[in-house]
Structure 1
Amino acid sequence: PDPRQALAQLREFRESFRPAAPSGLPFITNGLFGHMAYEAVQYFEDVTLRDKPGASTVPAIVYQAFRYVIAINHFKDELYLFEHQYLAEGEAPVADTLDQIETLIQNRNFATHAFHLTGEETSNATDAEYLELIRLGQHHCQRGDVFQIVLSRRFQQGFQGDEFNVYRALRSLNPSPYLFFFDYGSYKIFGSSPESQIVIDKGQAVLYPIAGTFRRTGDDAADARLAQQLLDDPKETAEHVMLVDLARNDLSRRCDVVAVERFKEIQYYSHVIHLVSKVVGKLGATTEPLDVVGETFPAGTLSGAPKYRAVQLIDEYESTQRGFYGGCIGALDFGGDFNHAIMIRTFLSKDNTLYYQAGAGVVAKSVPASELQEVHNKLGALRAAMQQAEKV
């Protein structure tokens, strides 16, 4: 594919919509909703990825505009209903039909179905194969090809019934900054992601690199001690610093001023503790927001540093396409503001199979057994959600 072609087409699609008036509300009320798969990197960088087998593949880029949007403010228990009419120039508006949506909401008469797992969990790599993958990553770090590389492993599990029960359980077990469920008919993507791909709001671009992971114990005092160990761990700190530098570099390609506003903060999630920073860039007056998206895709925390070489090595060594994993999902408003989550802690549901994936950041001093365990730690909430969904 021709690099930048997809971004130009997406920009053209976005600009074909001209809102009659701004909503005046502090959240996205209309725009394009969708996702970019990991393999979309081919449209943003001069890199070609191999065709690989894999039932977990999804379209590289999908965005849709919707007539009805429901926005819920959970802090104030407020619900907003929007109806958008997409009219040709000079075409008269038609009568609104919001009353039909209100009736649906008030009736709350939705079909519910049970959820059951079928068969055993399988993976695209055994533990031994993944340990060897980590050693290959270390080899490339030691010879100087990359400073860090994120190598991942995919799992899959058959099921019958309604996978929305898994999303409900995941939302309860692992509340995160991004909770999402996108139903595309032939496949569904849902998750509870802790990390944004990028947030662009009123001329400011923000990245929140997450790198550094310890497993929670369930005991608050023990977790506090672990958090301090994570802050003091030289390997985790080195990994985090590399990815903060990568975020600064990515933003600096298109932003006038770039700064690290927060560095190495501890954040707690249901099964893990993370190190998180905040990197901010100011867009120039003529900068196209989607160009900034392209420069920062995929996230360094899902690829490595230097990113270009890491992407090439990931393609060489991982046996299946990543598909949804490491891509991003969210909303792009018609003015260019952009808010997407990285698709981690995320399920793809396709043909009665759930796919889920996690990776570990490999550096020269990595301990392979620890990186293997990190993958399982990151998937802990997803596996717990599947088990809880069977009890609903």
Structure 2
Amino acid sequence: MSRPEPGQWMRWWAMLEQGRCRAVREGGEVLVCLALPCEPFDALAQVANIESLGLPYALFESREPDRVLLGIGQGRELLDEGASSLSGISRRWRQWLASAVQEGPSGPLLMGGARFDSGGAQQPHWRDFPDAVMTLYPLQWLQNSVGSYLLLQAQVRADSDLPALLDEQRRLLDFVDQDVDRSEFVIEAMGDDQSSVSREQWQSTVAKAVKCIRQGEMHKVVLARHLLRQHVAPIGVIPLLKRLRRHNPGAHLFAIRRGKSCFLGATPERLAHLQNGLVSTHALAGTVARGGDEANDHSLGQALLASVKERQEHDLVVRFIRQGLERLGATVQAAAVPELRRLPTLQHLSTPIQAKIGAKIGVLDVIEQLHPTPAVAGSSLEQALTFIRRHEGMDRGWYAGPLGWMNECAEGDFVVALRSMLVQGTRTYLFAGCGVVADSVPELEYQETCLKLSGMFNALRAESKVATV
């Protein structure tokens, strides 16, 4: 891949010096960013090199629009300390930008995400992932329909060691360019999977939720579970990502490594994309399996569209999203009826939604209004969250939380981190959930979670050969 030329390194050094002078004059820290055009890149090939060293990174591949972002290295973090969402981060990001030194066709970028619910149970396997964090990675790649760019990014103080900062960025580029062992992986499970709760317990909780809903305590609640799978050897993240990309070409692919953990997945659900004042999102709720042949597949899809239960569940999400956007003063347009969104093993009801919002509203303001939607939490929201906290019996961590990126204009793209797993050496945690309403049948809801888990199981399936990077 292309590297900065000597003259570009000199320009970067001059910008760092300018940032330090500004920090001396104004106090505090100064954001410095230089965006350079680069050759098109294969993000998974770069991640393979970084994974071999256990370095932090964030990968995000979105669809419609197609965009790839990859940030690597120990970056400066904006944490939402003690809050329940990504809300406080926007204000501090604007403060960073007010004195920034930046140059090139793209401004600085942050990547990160948040827990589904910072008020819920917190368990040790999620310790590497804070309540909410957006990271300024020292090396940040961006690839979209316009071109490919490498962003050199830094926060500079009056006493910053600029030579050390520059050496670290060059060292990271050396890691990206090196040849690593890309041998094929065989992923084998060892023993039985351990569930967060037993099948009987989970179905009993669903039955309890149905009773509460019928008594009018809430309208809907989404219940999730996880499976812990122990493997005979450390899991190869790259084969997993390659399989997820290959089997789910229309999904948004993501992977974030923090410490000894990597959270990854291929989600069908976008929470919000904001560009030029236009928010694009969709309601995704209502699920049925794919059919074994074209006729059966069509029949199942039509039954989903005709299902009163599924349409009611879907309409709850549409109304919630519309109301959240209208609270921001947006003009909202939503399709009158849902369409089918077909995935490799599932088909969902999907309603495209667009909204025009004011210039001062950023993507995190939108996320604050929309997360969590009834598709991942329930309705009425507070009652549903209370039920989840009391009865679900697991820590969702970043599963079903918002994950994405934000630029210097507070534009960005966030997805809902579904169809995902947490990888920690030889252990994987697989997550799935489903919506429970008044006429839900516990056994059928359990089967739906099994269906949703199947994509992750397929990615982990033991094979004698796995495609290499």
Q: Which TM-score band applies after superposition, normalised by the shorter structure? A: 0.7 to 0.9
Q: Give 1:360 deviation, angstroms.
A: 1.1
Match of 1:36 in 2: 114
Q: TM-score, normalised by structure 2?
A: 0.72
SS at match of 1:20: strand
Letter in 2 for 1:70: W
Which ranges of structure 2 fall in alignment gaps of 5 or more residues?
A: 1-80
Measured against aligned partners, the alpha-carbon deviations of 1:314-370 in whole angstroms (never above 9, x if no partner) come to: 111111221121112111112111211111001111253111111111110112221
Which of 8, 18, 23 lines up with 2:88 in the alignment? 8
Residue 83 (str. 1) matches residue 119 (str. 2): no
Q: Give 1:204 deviation, angstroms.
A: 2.3
CA distance in 2, matches of 1:289, 1:181: 21
Residue 314 (str. 1) matches residue 385 (str. 2): no
Query: Which range is displaced more, 277-286 or 145-154?
Result: 277-286
Letter in 2 for 1:110: V
Match of 1:203 in 2: 277
Letter in 1 for 2:141: I
- Indicate how the Cα distance of structure 1 residues 101 and 219 shifts in structure 2: closer, same or farther if over 3 A, else same: farther
Which of 99, 120, 141 lines up with 2:213 in the alignment? 141
Letter in 2 for 1:138: V
1:278-293 aligned at under 5 Å gives the runs 278-293=352-367
8 Å Cα contact 2:121/2:389 also seen in 1? no
CA RMSD of aligned residues (A): 3.0
Letter in 2 for 1:129: Q
How many residue pairs are counted as aligned between the two chains?
375
CA distance in 1, matches of 2:85, 2:208: 34
Q: Give 1:238 deviation, angstroms.
A: 1.0
CA distance in 1, matches of 2:328, 2:345: 36
Higher relative CO (Cα under 8 Å, sequence separation at least 6) belongs to 1
Match of 2:226 in 1: 154
Which of 132, 136, 145 lines up with 2:204 in the alignment? 132
8 Å Cα contact 1:198/1:293 also seen in 2? yes
Q: Give 1:6 deviation, angstroms.
A: 5.9
Q: TM-score, normalised by structure 1?
A: 0.85
Which of 105, 116, 120 lines up with 1:23 in the alignment? 105
8 Å Cα contact 2:207/2:442 also seen in 1? yes
Which ranges of structure 1 fall in alignment gaps of 5 or more residues?
A: 41-48
Which of 422, 446, 456 lines up with 1:348 in the alignment? 422
- Indicate how the Cα distance of structure 1 residues 390 and 82 shifts in structure 2: closer, same or farther if over 3 A, else same: farther
CA distance in 2, matches of 1:152, 1:346: 12
Residue 327 (str. 1) matches residue 409 (str. 2): no
1:171-320 aligned at under 5 Å gives the runs 171-261=245-335, 263-320=337-394
SS at match of 1:55: helix
- Indicate how the Cα distance of structure 1 residues 22 and 149 shifts in structure 2: closer, same or farther if over 3 A, else same: farther
Measured against aligned partners, the alpha-carbon deviations of 1:109-130 in whole angstroms (never above 9, x if no partner) come to: 2223534333321101111111
Letter in 2 for 1:11: R
SS at match of 1:379: helix
SS at match of 1:7: coil
Structure showing greater Rg: 2
Match of 1:111 in 2: 181
- Indicate how the Cα distance of structure 1 residues 245 and 319 shifts in structure 2: closer, same or farther if over 3 A, else same: same
Q: Give 1:14 deviation, angstroms.
A: 5.0
8 Å Cα contact 1:362/1:371 also seen in 2? yes
CA distance in 1, matches of 2:271, 2:374: 10
8 Å Cα contact 1:216/1:271 also seen in 2? yes
- Indicate how the Cα distance of structure 1 residues 80 and 292 shifts in structure 2: closer, same or farther if over 3 A, else same: closer
